[in-house]
Structure 1
Protein backbone atom coordinates (compact mmCIF):
# COMPACT_ATOMS: atom_id res chain seq x y z
CA UNK A 1 0.00 0.00 0.00
CA UNK A 2 1.36 3.42 -0.94
CA UNK A 3 1.98 5.82 1.91
CA UNK A 4 -0.44 8.72 2.27
CA UNK A 5 2.28 11.08 3.45
CA UNK A 6 6.02 11.39 3.92
CA UNK A 7 8.27 13.31 6.30
CA UNK A 8 11.48 15.31 5.90
CA UNK A 9 13.63 17.06 8.50
CA UNK A 10 16.04 19.99 8.08
CA UNK A 11 17.28 22.57 10.55
CA UNK A 12 14.88 21.66 13.34
CA UNK A 13 11.84 21.75 11.00
CA UNK A 14 9.94 18.52 10.36
CA UNK A 15 7.96 18.64 7.12
CA UNK A 16 4.88 16.44 7.04
CA UNK A 17 3.88 16.20 3.39
CA UNK A 18 0.48 14.92 2.24
CA UNK A 19 1.33 12.62 -0.66
CA UNK A 20 -1.84 11.61 -2.49
CA UNK A 21 -1.58 14.18 -5.31
CA UNK A 22 -3.73 12.31 -7.84
CA UNK A 23 -6.56 12.25 -5.29
CA UNK A 24 -6.07 15.90 -4.29
CA UNK A 25 -4.90 14.63 -0.89
CA UNK A 26 -8.43 13.78 0.15
CA UNK A 27 -8.78 12.42 3.66
CA UNK A 28 -8.95 8.67 4.16
CA UNK A 29 -8.59 6.48 7.25
CA UNK A 30 -5.05 5.69 6.10
CA UNK A 31 -4.09 9.37 5.85
CA UNK A 32 -5.66 9.97 9.28
CA UNK A 33 -3.59 7.22 10.90
CA UNK A 34 -0.34 8.22 9.21
CA UNK A 35 -0.84 11.87 10.16
CA UNK A 36 -1.38 10.89 13.80
CA UNK A 37 1.84 8.92 13.84
CA UNK A 38 3.81 11.66 12.06
CA UNK A 39 2.71 14.42 14.45
CA UNK A 40 3.35 12.29 17.54
CA UNK A 41 6.79 11.31 16.24
CA UNK A 42 7.75 14.93 15.54
CA UNK A 43 6.50 16.04 18.94
CA UNK A 44 8.67 13.40 20.63
CA UNK A 45 11.82 14.08 18.59
CA UNK A 46 14.18 16.43 20.49
CA UNK A 47 15.76 17.49 17.19
CA UNK A 48 12.46 18.93 15.95
CA UNK A 49 11.24 22.34 17.10
CA UNK A 50 8.60 23.17 14.46
CA UNK A 51 6.32 21.09 12.23
CA UNK A 52 5.48 22.22 8.69
CA UNK A 53 2.43 20.62 7.07
CA UNK A 54 2.38 20.87 3.27
CA UNK A 55 1.21 18.83 0.30
CA UNK A 56 2.17 17.41 -3.08
CA UNK A 57 0.14 17.93 -6.23
CA UNK A 58 -2.38 20.54 -7.36
CA UNK A 59 -4.30 20.80 -4.06
CA UNK A 60 -3.50 20.85 -0.37
CA UNK A 61 -6.61 18.88 0.60
CA UNK A 62 -10.00 18.68 -1.13
CA UNK A 63 -11.77 17.33 1.95
CA UNK A 64 -12.86 13.83 2.78
CA UNK A 65 -12.72 11.21 0.09
CA UNK A 66 -16.39 11.18 -0.80
CA UNK A 67 -16.00 7.90 -2.62
CA UNK A 68 -15.37 5.96 0.57
CA UNK A 69 -17.33 8.19 2.97
CA UNK A 70 -20.62 8.18 1.05
CA UNK A 71 -20.21 4.46 0.46
CA UNK A 72 -19.58 4.00 4.18
CA UNK A 73 -22.77 5.80 5.12
CA UNK A 74 -24.83 4.00 2.48
CA UNK A 75 -23.55 0.57 3.53
CA UNK A 76 -23.50 1.13 7.30
CA UNK A 77 -27.17 2.04 7.41
CA UNK A 78 -30.10 0.29 5.87
CA UNK A 79 -33.73 -0.41 6.52
CA UNK A 80 -32.57 -3.06 8.99
CA UNK A 81 -29.94 -0.89 10.69
CA UNK A 82 -30.64 2.77 11.34
CA UNK A 83 -28.19 5.54 12.24
CA UNK A 84 -26.38 4.92 15.50
CA UNK A 85 -25.47 8.43 16.67
CA UNK A 86 -23.02 7.22 19.32
CA UNK A 87 -21.17 4.99 16.86
CA UNK A 88 -21.10 7.80 14.28
CA UNK A 89 -19.71 10.21 16.87
CA UNK A 90 -16.95 7.78 17.79
CA UNK A 91 -16.08 7.27 14.13
CA UNK A 92 -15.81 11.00 13.38
CA UNK A 93 -14.00 11.68 16.64
CA UNK A 94 -11.17 9.43 15.44
CA UNK A 95 -10.57 11.94 12.65
CA UNK A 96 -11.11 15.03 14.80
CA UNK A 97 -8.73 13.79 17.48
CA UNK A 98 -5.98 13.50 14.85
CA UNK A 99 -6.53 17.03 13.52
CA UNK A 100 -6.36 18.29 17.09
CA UNK A 101 -2.89 16.84 17.43
CA UNK A 102 -1.77 19.86 15.38
CA UNK A 103 -3.37 22.10 18.00
CA UNK A 104 -2.32 20.21 21.13
CA UNK A 105 1.19 19.26 20.03
CA UNK A 106 3.64 20.99 22.33
CA UNK A 107 5.59 22.28 19.31
CA UNK A 108 4.35 24.92 16.84
CA UNK A 109 2.63 23.71 13.68
CA UNK A 110 2.69 25.71 10.43
CA UNK A 111 0.67 24.81 7.33
CA UNK A 112 1.54 25.88 3.78
CA UNK A 113 -1.58 25.72 1.62
CA UNK A 114 -1.93 25.78 -2.15
CA UNK A 115 -4.85 24.91 -4.40
CA UNK A 116 -8.00 23.62 -2.76
CA UNK A 117 -8.27 23.48 1.02
CA UNK A 118 -11.95 22.86 1.52
CA UNK A 119 -14.49 20.93 3.59
CA UNK A 120 -12.71 18.39 5.83
CA UNK A 121 -9.41 19.89 4.71
CA UNK A 122 -10.31 23.01 6.69
CA UNK A 123 -11.23 20.90 9.73
CA UNK A 124 -7.65 19.69 9.64
CA UNK A 125 -5.66 22.76 8.63
CA UNK A 126 -7.45 25.22 10.92
CA UNK A 127 -6.01 23.27 13.86
CA UNK A 128 -2.54 24.43 12.81
CA UNK A 129 -1.03 27.29 14.77
CA UNK A 130 -0.16 29.33 11.68
CA UNK A 131 -1.47 29.03 8.11
CA UNK A 132 0.21 30.62 5.10
CA UNK A 133 -1.20 30.21 1.61
CA UNK A 134 -0.43 30.94 -2.01
CA UNK A 135 -2.50 33.61 -3.74
CA UNK A 136 -4.37 31.06 -5.86
CA UNK A 137 -5.37 28.88 -2.89
CA UNK A 138 -9.08 28.55 -2.09
CA UNK A 139 -10.67 27.79 1.27
CA UNK A 140 -14.27 27.04 2.15
CA UNK A 141 -16.78 24.65 3.65
CA UNK A 142 -19.20 23.65 0.86
CA UNK A 143 -20.75 20.82 2.96
CA UNK A 144 -22.42 23.65 4.88
CA UNK A 145 -24.92 23.55 1.99
CA UNK A 146 -25.75 19.93 2.68
CA UNK A 147 -24.13 16.97 4.43
CA UNK A 148 -21.92 18.45 7.12
CA UNK A 149 -20.82 20.95 9.75
CA UNK A 150 -17.23 21.91 10.70
CA UNK A 151 -16.17 19.28 13.20
CA UNK A 152 -13.26 21.12 14.80
CA UNK A 153 -15.32 24.34 15.02
CA UNK A 154 -12.34 26.64 14.54
CA UNK A 155 -14.09 29.22 12.38
CA UNK A 156 -15.40 31.57 15.07
CA UNK A 157 -12.16 31.39 17.04
CA UNK A 158 -10.17 32.52 14.01
CA UNK A 159 -12.52 35.05 12.39
CA UNK A 160 -15.17 36.09 14.90
CA UNK A 161 -18.94 35.67 14.72
CA UNK A 162 -19.81 37.85 11.73
CA UNK A 163 -17.26 36.49 9.26
CA UNK A 164 -17.72 32.89 10.38
CA UNK A 165 -21.47 33.15 9.84
CA UNK A 166 -20.99 34.95 6.53
CA UNK A 167 -19.10 32.02 5.05
CA UNK A 168 -20.67 29.09 6.87
CA UNK A 169 -24.25 30.19 6.21
CA UNK A 170 -23.52 30.24 2.47
CA UNK A 171 -20.71 27.72 2.08
CA UNK A 172 -19.10 30.29 -0.24
CA UNK A 173 -15.50 29.79 -1.30
CA UNK A 174 -12.84 32.06 0.18
CA UNK A 175 -9.89 33.04 -2.04
CA UNK A 176 -6.62 33.12 -0.11
CA UNK A 177 -6.22 36.94 -0.21
CA UNK A 178 -9.67 37.28 1.35
CA UNK A 179 -8.87 34.54 3.88
CA UNK A 180 -5.85 36.55 5.03
CA UNK A 181 -7.82 39.78 5.13
CA UNK A 182 -10.57 38.34 7.36
CA UNK A 183 -8.21 36.44 9.66
CA UNK A 184 -8.91 32.86 8.61
CA UNK A 185 -5.21 32.49 7.77
CA UNK A 186 -2.12 34.43 8.75
CA UNK A 187 -0.50 35.32 5.43
CA UNK A 188 -0.95 35.11 1.67
CA UNK A 189 2.02 35.17 -0.69
CA UNK A 190 2.60 34.83 -4.46
CA UNK A 191 2.34 31.22 -5.62
CA UNK A 192 5.99 30.92 -6.51
CA UNK A 193 7.06 32.11 -3.06
CA UNK A 194 4.94 29.78 -0.90
CA UNK A 195 7.53 27.12 -0.13
CA UNK A 196 10.31 29.61 0.49
CA UNK A 197 8.09 31.75 2.69
CA UNK A 198 6.73 28.84 4.71
CA UNK A 199 10.17 27.31 5.27
CA UNK A 200 11.54 30.72 6.17
CA UNK A 201 8.81 31.28 8.76
CA UNK A 202 9.29 27.82 10.27
CA UNK A 203 13.05 28.41 10.37
CA UNK A 204 12.61 31.71 12.20
CA UNK A 205 10.50 29.94 14.82
CA UNK A 206 13.02 27.10 15.12
CA UNK A 207 15.69 29.61 16.17
CA UNK A 208 13.89 30.14 19.50
CA UNK A 209 14.55 27.77 22.39
CA UNK A 210 12.15 24.85 22.26
CA UNK A 211 10.83 25.56 25.75
CA UNK A 212 10.01 29.14 24.76
CA UNK A 213 8.05 27.93 21.75
CA UNK A 214 6.08 25.48 23.85
CA UNK A 215 5.24 28.03 26.54
CA UNK A 216 4.15 30.70 24.05
CA UNK A 217 1.95 28.27 22.11
CA UNK A 218 0.31 27.06 25.31
CA UNK A 219 -0.34 30.62 26.42
CA UNK A 220 -2.02 31.59 23.14
CA UNK A 221 -4.08 28.41 22.85
CA UNK A 222 -5.37 28.69 26.40
CA UNK A 223 -7.50 31.67 25.36
CA UNK A 224 -9.53 29.46 23.02
CA UNK A 225 -9.77 26.78 25.69
CA UNK A 226 -11.16 29.34 28.14
CA UNK A 227 -13.74 30.36 25.51
CA UNK A 228 -15.16 26.83 25.43
CA UNK A 229 -13.23 25.24 22.58
CA UNK A 230 -13.77 21.72 23.91
CA UNK A 231 -17.55 22.04 23.99
CA UNK A 232 -17.60 23.78 20.57
CA UNK A 233 -15.78 20.98 18.79
CA UNK A 234 -17.82 18.30 20.60
CA UNK A 235 -20.99 19.97 19.35
CA UNK A 236 -19.50 20.44 15.87
CA UNK A 237 -18.61 16.76 15.59
CA UNK A 238 -22.02 15.64 16.81
CA UNK A 239 -23.91 18.07 14.54
CA UNK A 240 -21.86 16.87 11.58
CA UNK A 241 -23.34 13.43 12.10
CA UNK A 242 -26.83 14.86 12.33
CA UNK A 243 -26.30 16.92 9.16
CA UNK A 244 -25.28 13.79 7.27
CA UNK A 245 -28.53 12.08 8.33
CA UNK A 246 -31.13 14.77 7.66
CA UNK A 247 -33.51 14.03 4.78
CA UNK A 248 -31.37 16.29 2.61
CA UNK A 249 -28.18 14.59 3.75
CA UNK A 250 -29.60 11.15 3.02
CA UNK A 251 -30.75 12.37 -0.39
CA UNK A 252 -27.18 13.54 -1.10
CA UNK A 253 -25.83 10.08 -0.28
CA UNK A 254 -28.51 8.44 -2.40
CA UNK A 255 -27.65 10.71 -5.32
CA UNK A 256 -23.92 10.02 -4.87
CA UNK A 257 -24.63 6.30 -4.88
CA UNK A 258 -26.76 6.60 -8.00
CA UNK A 259 -24.80 9.10 -10.10
CA UNK A 260 -21.37 9.21 -8.45
CA UNK A 261 -20.09 11.60 -5.80
CA UNK A 262 -18.61 14.06 -8.33
CA UNK A 263 -22.01 14.53 -9.94
CA UNK A 264 -23.70 14.90 -6.56
CA UNK A 265 -21.20 17.58 -5.53
CA UNK A 266 -21.59 19.33 -8.89
CA UNK A 267 -25.37 19.48 -8.46
CA UNK A 268 -24.93 20.85 -4.94
CA UNK A 269 -22.57 23.64 -6.01
CA UNK A 270 -23.87 24.53 -9.49
CA UNK A 271 -26.51 26.98 -8.14
CA UNK A 272 -23.72 28.88 -6.35
CA UNK A 273 -21.26 28.87 -9.27
CA UNK A 274 -18.15 28.27 -7.18
CA UNK A 275 -15.58 25.58 -6.35
CA UNK A 276 -15.67 22.99 -9.14
CA UNK A 277 -18.84 24.57 -10.53
CA UNK A 278 -17.19 27.94 -11.17
CA UNK A 279 -17.77 29.09 -14.77
CA UNK A 280 -14.68 28.48 -16.86
Structure 2
Protein backbone atom coordinates (compact mmCIF):
# COMPACT_ATOMS: atom_id res chain seq x y z
CA UNK A 1 0.00 0.00 0.00
CA UNK A 2 2.95 2.33 0.66
CA UNK A 3 5.09 1.90 -2.42
CA UNK A 4 7.86 4.50 -2.16
CA UNK A 5 11.40 4.70 -3.53
CA UNK A 6 13.11 6.98 -1.00
CA UNK A 7 11.21 6.30 2.21
CA UNK A 8 9.98 3.09 3.83
CA UNK A 9 6.96 2.44 6.04
CA UNK A 10 7.13 -0.14 8.85
CA UNK A 11 4.58 -0.97 11.53
CA UNK A 12 5.50 -1.91 15.09
CA UNK A 13 2.43 -2.25 17.31
CA UNK A 14 0.82 1.17 17.74
CA UNK A 15 3.83 2.87 16.11
CA UNK A 16 4.19 3.37 12.36
CA UNK A 17 7.75 4.17 11.29
CA UNK A 18 8.36 6.59 8.43
CA UNK A 19 11.97 5.83 7.49
CA UNK A 20 14.16 8.11 5.38
CA UNK A 21 15.68 5.57 3.03
CA UNK A 22 18.53 7.03 0.96
CA UNK A 23 21.48 5.68 2.99
CA UNK A 24 23.81 5.82 -0.01
CA UNK A 25 23.14 9.59 -0.17
CA UNK A 26 23.27 10.15 3.61
CA UNK A 27 19.46 10.39 3.53
CA UNK A 28 19.77 13.77 1.82
CA UNK A 29 16.35 15.37 1.37
CA UNK A 30 15.74 15.20 -2.38
CA UNK A 31 12.62 16.47 -4.16
CA UNK A 32 11.38 12.90 -4.50
CA UNK A 33 11.97 12.09 -0.85
CA UNK A 34 10.18 15.25 0.30
CA UNK A 35 7.22 14.55 -1.99
CA UNK A 36 6.97 10.97 -0.73
CA UNK A 37 7.36 12.18 2.86
CA UNK A 38 4.42 14.58 2.42
CA UNK A 39 2.31 11.92 0.75
CA UNK A 40 3.00 9.43 3.54
CA UNK A 41 2.07 11.99 6.21
CA UNK A 42 -1.27 12.61 4.49
CA UNK A 43 -2.04 8.91 4.28
CA UNK A 44 -0.93 8.17 7.82
CA UNK A 45 -3.48 10.66 9.13
CA UNK A 46 -6.07 7.90 8.65
CA UNK A 47 -3.94 4.78 8.20
CA UNK A 48 -1.29 3.00 10.29
CA UNK A 49 -0.72 3.16 14.03
CA UNK A 50 -1.85 5.84 16.45
CA UNK A 51 1.72 7.19 16.78
CA UNK A 52 4.20 8.02 13.99
CA UNK A 53 7.97 7.67 14.31
CA UNK A 54 10.52 9.18 11.92
CA UNK A 55 14.06 7.82 11.63
CA UNK A 56 16.84 7.49 9.08
CA UNK A 57 18.25 4.35 7.49
CA UNK A 58 22.00 3.78 7.67
CA UNK A 59 24.64 5.80 9.49
CA UNK A 60 22.58 8.88 10.28
CA UNK A 61 19.20 10.58 10.36
CA UNK A 62 19.80 12.95 7.42
CA UNK A 63 22.49 15.25 6.04
CA UNK A 64 19.89 17.89 5.15
CA UNK A 65 18.69 19.17 1.80
CA UNK A 66 20.13 17.50 -1.29
CA UNK A 67 22.54 20.07 -2.77
CA UNK A 68 22.02 18.66 -6.26
CA UNK A 69 18.29 19.42 -6.08
CA UNK A 70 16.56 21.16 -3.18
CA UNK A 71 19.53 23.11 -1.86
CA UNK A 72 21.23 24.05 -5.14
CA UNK A 73 24.15 26.45 -4.77
CA UNK A 74 23.40 28.27 -8.02
CA UNK A 75 22.91 32.02 -8.34
CA UNK A 76 19.28 32.95 -7.68
CA UNK A 77 17.68 34.90 -10.55
CA UNK A 78 14.16 35.17 -9.13
CA UNK A 79 13.85 36.00 -5.40
CA UNK A 80 10.09 35.41 -5.45
CA UNK A 81 10.53 31.89 -6.84
CA UNK A 82 13.30 31.31 -4.31
CA UNK A 83 11.02 32.37 -1.46
CA UNK A 84 8.26 30.06 -2.70
CA UNK A 85 10.72 27.15 -2.92
CA UNK A 86 11.96 27.73 0.60
CA UNK A 87 8.48 28.16 2.07
CA UNK A 88 7.34 24.94 0.38
CA UNK A 89 9.98 23.06 2.39
CA UNK A 90 8.83 24.62 5.67
CA UNK A 91 5.18 23.88 4.85
CA UNK A 92 6.02 20.17 4.64
CA UNK A 93 7.15 20.31 8.27
CA UNK A 94 4.25 22.45 9.43
CA UNK A 95 2.13 19.52 8.24
CA UNK A 96 3.82 17.49 10.99
CA UNK A 97 2.87 20.16 13.54
CA UNK A 98 -0.76 20.09 12.31
CA UNK A 99 -0.90 16.30 11.95
CA UNK A 100 -3.65 14.62 14.01
CA UNK A 101 -1.25 12.00 15.41
CA UNK A 102 1.73 12.38 17.77
CA UNK A 103 5.03 12.30 15.86
CA UNK A 104 8.32 11.18 17.43
CA UNK A 105 11.66 11.86 15.74
CA UNK A 106 14.41 9.31 16.49
CA UNK A 107 17.80 10.83 15.67
CA UNK A 108 21.06 8.92 15.36
CA UNK A 109 24.36 9.75 13.70
CA UNK A 110 24.11 13.07 11.88
CA UNK A 111 21.15 15.43 11.65
CA UNK A 112 22.11 18.53 9.70
CA UNK A 113 20.50 21.73 8.41
CA UNK A 114 17.08 21.03 6.85
CA UNK A 115 16.85 17.76 8.74
CA UNK A 116 16.90 19.71 12.01
CA UNK A 117 13.89 21.67 10.75
CA UNK A 118 12.03 18.39 10.38
CA UNK A 119 12.79 17.47 13.98
CA UNK A 120 11.73 20.88 15.34
CA UNK A 121 8.20 20.16 14.15
CA UNK A 122 8.06 16.68 15.67
CA UNK A 123 6.06 16.49 18.88
CA UNK A 124 8.81 14.57 20.72
CA UNK A 125 12.47 14.08 19.77
CA UNK A 126 14.69 11.31 21.13
CA UNK A 127 18.38 11.40 20.17
CA UNK A 128 21.32 9.05 20.46
CA UNK A 129 24.05 10.17 22.84
CA UNK A 130 26.59 10.33 20.02
CA UNK A 131 24.33 12.10 17.52
CA UNK A 132 25.56 15.35 15.95
CA UNK A 133 22.87 17.95 15.33
CA UNK A 134 23.98 21.01 13.46
CA UNK A 135 24.06 23.85 10.97
CA UNK A 136 25.34 23.76 7.37
CA UNK A 137 29.12 24.13 7.10
CA UNK A 138 28.91 26.81 4.38
CA UNK A 139 27.32 30.10 5.59
CA UNK A 140 25.18 30.84 2.54
CA UNK A 141 21.81 31.02 4.33
CA UNK A 142 20.26 34.00 6.05
CA UNK A 143 18.41 32.44 8.92
CA UNK A 144 16.48 29.51 7.51
CA UNK A 145 17.48 26.96 10.15
CA UNK A 146 18.33 28.51 13.51
CA UNK A 147 15.28 30.81 13.87
CA UNK A 148 13.11 27.71 13.99
CA UNK A 149 15.20 26.53 16.95
CA UNK A 150 14.39 29.65 18.99
CA UNK A 151 11.12 28.40 20.57
CA UNK A 152 13.01 25.30 21.77
CA UNK A 153 16.44 26.59 22.82
CA UNK A 154 16.02 30.38 23.11
CA UNK A 155 17.58 33.17 21.02
CA UNK A 156 21.08 33.12 22.55
CA UNK A 157 21.67 29.44 21.87
CA UNK A 158 20.10 29.71 18.42
CA UNK A 159 22.51 32.56 17.64
CA UNK A 160 25.47 30.53 18.85
CA UNK A 161 24.43 27.73 16.52
CA UNK A 162 23.94 30.07 13.57
CA UNK A 163 27.00 32.29 13.93
CA UNK A 164 29.62 29.49 13.83
CA UNK A 165 29.84 27.74 10.40
CA UNK A 166 28.89 24.08 10.66
CA UNK A 167 28.22 24.35 14.36
CA UNK A 168 26.78 21.27 16.05
CA UNK A 169 25.77 19.82 19.39
CA UNK A 170 25.68 16.23 20.69
CA UNK A 171 22.74 14.32 22.11
CA UNK A 172 23.11 15.25 25.80
CA UNK A 173 23.57 18.92 24.89
CA UNK A 174 20.45 18.79 22.70
CA UNK A 175 18.47 17.65 25.76
CA UNK A 176 20.11 20.23 28.05
CA UNK A 177 19.20 22.99 25.59
CA UNK A 178 15.61 21.79 25.16
CA UNK A 179 15.94 20.76 21.51
CA UNK A 180 15.29 17.11 22.37
CA UNK A 181 13.40 15.24 25.10
CA UNK A 182 15.79 12.37 25.81
CA UNK A 183 19.30 11.22 24.91
CA UNK A 184 19.92 7.47 24.99
CA UNK A 185 22.60 4.98 23.87
CA UNK A 186 22.43 4.58 20.10
CA UNK A 187 21.76 0.83 20.30
CA UNK A 188 18.67 1.50 22.43
CA UNK A 189 17.18 4.35 20.37
CA UNK A 190 14.58 2.39 18.40
CA UNK A 191 13.51 0.29 21.39
CA UNK A 192 13.11 3.40 23.56
CA UNK A 193 10.94 5.14 20.96
CA UNK A 194 8.79 2.05 20.39
CA UNK A 195 8.27 1.66 24.14
CA UNK A 196 7.33 5.34 24.44
CA UNK A 197 4.81 4.90 21.60
CA UNK A 198 3.18 1.98 23.42
CA UNK A 199 2.71 4.15 26.51
CA UNK A 200 1.37 7.07 24.47
CA UNK A 201 -1.09 4.77 22.71
CA UNK A 202 -2.79 4.04 26.06
CA UNK A 203 -4.45 7.44 25.56
CA UNK A 204 -7.33 7.24 23.03
CA UNK A 205 -6.55 8.81 19.61
CA UNK A 206 -9.29 11.46 19.93
CA UNK A 207 -7.89 12.55 23.28
CA UNK A 208 -4.34 12.64 21.88
CA UNK A 209 -5.58 14.81 19.01
CA UNK A 210 -7.05 17.45 21.32
CA UNK A 211 -4.09 17.34 23.72
CA UNK A 212 -1.72 17.99 20.80
CA UNK A 213 -3.94 20.74 19.39
CA UNK A 214 -4.25 22.56 22.71
CA UNK A 215 -0.51 22.46 23.42
CA UNK A 216 0.21 23.64 19.88
CA UNK A 217 -2.12 26.59 20.37
CA UNK A 218 -0.25 27.56 23.52
CA UNK A 219 3.05 27.43 21.59
CA UNK A 220 1.54 29.43 18.74
CA UNK A 221 0.40 32.09 21.20
CA UNK A 222 4.11 32.51 21.98
CA UNK A 223 4.92 32.99 18.30
CA UNK A 224 5.91 29.53 17.04
CA UNK A 225 3.93 29.72 13.80
CA UNK A 226 4.94 33.35 13.19
CA UNK A 227 8.60 32.32 13.32
CA UNK A 228 7.86 29.64 10.73
CA UNK A 229 6.38 32.17 8.34
CA UNK A 230 9.40 34.51 8.31
CA UNK A 231 12.42 32.30 7.58
CA UNK A 232 11.85 31.86 3.83
CA UNK A 233 11.85 35.62 3.20
CA UNK A 234 15.06 36.17 5.17
CA UNK A 235 16.86 33.36 3.37
CA UNK A 236 15.72 34.46 -0.09
CA UNK A 237 16.89 38.00 0.69
CA UNK A 238 20.38 36.90 1.69
CA UNK A 239 20.79 34.68 -1.36
CA UNK A 240 21.07 37.85 -3.47
CA UNK A 241 23.70 39.66 -1.41
CA UNK A 242 27.26 40.17 -2.73
CA UNK A 243 28.79 38.20 0.17
CA UNK A 244 26.76 35.08 -0.60
CA UNK A 245 27.24 35.40 -4.35
CA UNK A 246 30.99 35.65 -3.71
CA UNK A 247 30.91 32.52 -1.56
CA UNK A 248 28.96 30.62 -4.23
CA UNK A 249 31.57 31.63 -6.80
CA UNK A 250 34.28 30.39 -4.42
CA UNK A 251 32.48 27.04 -4.12
CA UNK A 252 32.14 26.80 -7.90
CA UNK A 253 35.86 27.54 -8.33
CA UNK A 254 37.40 25.21 -5.73
CA UNK A 255 34.68 22.58 -5.38
CA UNK A 256 32.29 21.78 -2.54
CA UNK A 257 34.69 19.58 -0.56
CA UNK A 258 37.51 22.13 -0.45
CA UNK A 259 35.11 24.99 0.31
CA UNK A 260 33.65 23.09 3.27
CA UNK A 261 37.16 22.35 4.56
CA UNK A 262 37.94 26.07 4.48
CA UNK A 263 34.97 26.85 6.75
CA UNK A 264 35.07 23.84 9.07
CA UNK A 265 35.79 24.84 12.68
CA UNK A 266 35.35 23.41 16.17
CA UNK A 267 31.73 23.00 17.22
CA UNK A 268 29.86 24.26 20.26
CA UNK A 269 29.50 20.86 21.87
CA UNK A 270 31.86 20.30 23.55
CA UNK A 271 33.13 23.88 23.62
CA UNK A 272 36.92 24.02 23.40
CA UNK A 273 39.63 26.56 22.63
CA UNK A 274 40.81 26.36 19.03
CA UNK A 275 44.56 25.79 18.71
CA UNK A 276 46.53 28.85 17.56
CA UNK A 277 47.27 28.93 13.85
CA UNK A 278 50.90 28.30 12.92
CA UNK A 279 52.75 31.20 11.42
CA UNK A 280 54.33 30.61 8.06
CA UNK A 281 58.11 30.87 8.12
TM-score by length of 1: 0.87
**Equivalent position SS for 1:162:** helix
Offset at residue 100 of structure 1 (A): 1.4
Runs of at least 4 residues off by over 6 Å? none
Residue 7 of structure 2: aligned partner: 5
Q: What are the Cα deviations for residues 16-75 of structure 1, in whole angstroms up to 9, with x where unaligned? A: 000001111111111110100111111122x5211000010111011111233564634x
Please tell me whether the aligned partners of residues 14 and 51 of structure 2 are also in contact (alpha carbons under 8 angstroms): yes
Q: What are the Cα deviations for residues 111-151 of structure 1, in whole angstroms up to 9, with x where unaligned? A: 00001111111111111011001111011123683334235
Matches within 5 A, 1:53-202: 53-69=54-70, 71=72, 73-74=74-75, 77=76, 83-142=77-136, 145-150=139-144, 153-171=147-165, 172-202=167-197
Please tell me whether the aligned partners of residues 146 and 249 of structure 1 are also in contact (alpha carbons under 8 angstroms): yes
Residue 27 of structure 1: aligned partner: 29
Residue 244 to residue 263, structure 1, CA distance change in 2 (3 Å): farther
Q: What are the Cα deviations for residues 59-98 of structure 1, in whole angstroms up to 9, with x where unaligned? A: 1011111233564634xx4xxxxx3222111111221111
Structure 1 residues 128-137 or 246-255, which shifts more? Answer: 246-255
Residue 80 of structure 1: aligned partner: none
Offset at residue 2 of structure 1 (A): 7.5
CA distance in 1: counterparts of 2:13 and 2:228, whole angstroms: 34
CA distance in 2: counterparts of 1:168 and 1:126, whole angstroms: 15
CA distance in 2: counterparts of 1:230 and 1:186, whole angstroms: 21
Please tell me whether the aligned partners of residues 52 and 102 of structure 2 are also in contact (alpha carbons under 8 angstroms): yes
- More helix per residue: 1 or 2? 1
Please tell me whether the aligned partners of residues 110 and 128 of structure 1 are also in contact (alpha carbons under 8 angstroms): yes
User: What's the C-alpha RMSD, in Å, of the aligned pairs?
Assistant: 2.3
CA distance in 2: counterparts of 1:97 and 1:2, whole angstroms: 21
Matches within 5 A, 1:245-256: 245-256=240-251
How many residues were matched structurally?
Answer: 266
Residue 227 of structure 1: aligned partner: 222
Q: Unmatched 5+ residue regions in structure 2?
A: 269-273, 275-281
Residue 70 to residue 193, structure 1, CA distance change in 2 (3 Å): closer
Structure 1 residues 83-92 or 175-184, which shifts more? Answer: 83-92
